[in-house]
Copies of this chain bind each other. A is one copy, B any other.
Amino acid sequence: MTQEQEAGLEQKILETAEQLFLEKGFAMTSTTEIAKKAGCNQALVHYYFRTKENLFQSIFEQKIRLLISSFQDHEMQNLTFEEKLKRKIETHFEMIRANPRLPFLVMNEFTTNPSRLEAFRIKIIAVPQAVFHKLEEELNEEIRAGRIRDITVMDLVLNIVSLNAMLFLTGNIFKCVAQLSEEQYQMMIEHRKQEHVKVILASLRP
């Protein structure tokens, strides 16, 4: 049916754990539940990953990389800065749309377990600088030319990430409170994508 099916229990456990961690976070997911849903004995989870923390970290680290990479460049030299930025916003948006619970997981785990945050700091500190360096140069060039207002790359990225991530962080809340059908919800998501682009581009006008 799906892409897994005949992949062995180790892989199955990994996939099940990923799904459950994304759904309910680390604390609310037990190895017992993972095993039951993966269709194996609970001890097998510990046989492959020794501890629940191990299992979580292998999933978590990979997901963090995915998150950061979504801001990577995508070869579009012949476009205006505005067009490039629009694409960047949309790419980031679509990455989160494809992993809608990821912002929740990151926030939840880094907030409830600050030691995890400290451990990851070294791993991820170098990445953003590399990713944002080119954007920064282009941004400064536009500012120098007077085509956009003065703004740091940090502020710009924070604005984009805030809008995009928050939409999916509050997605279920909004859907429930506003009593939206799945179809209405998807339309709203699509509409917000346009809105985010509008807001960011407008916020840069001199």
Contacts and interface: CB of A to CB of B under 8 A. Distances in A.
Interface of A: 24-25, 27-28, 104, 106-108, 110-112, 114, 117-118, 121, 124-125, 155, 158-159, 161-163, 165-167, 169-170, 172-173, 176-177, 192, 195, 198-199, 202-205
A107 B169 CA distance: 7
Given A162-B166, A203-B202, A28 B121 contact: no
A193 B166 CA distance: 17
29 contacts: A24-B112, A25-B27, A104-B107, A104-B111, A107-B169, A107-B170, A108-B111, A110-B172, A110-B173, A111-B173, A114-B172, A114-B176, A117-B176, A121-B176, A121-B177, A124-B177, A155-B195, A158-B166, A158-B192, A158-B195, A159-B199, A162-B162, A162-B163, A162-B167, A166-B169, A169-B169, A198-B203, A202-B204, A203-B203
A103 to B, nearest CB: 9
A182 to B, nearest CB: 15
Contact of A118 (B24, B165, B170, B176): B176
Contact of A107 (B107, B124, B161, B202): B107
Nearest to A174: B158
From A27, A161, A167, A205, name the one whose CB has the most chain B CB atoms within 10 angstroms.
A27
Contacts of A118: 176
A163 B114 CA distance: 23
A204 B195 CA distance: 11
A10 B201 CA distance: 52
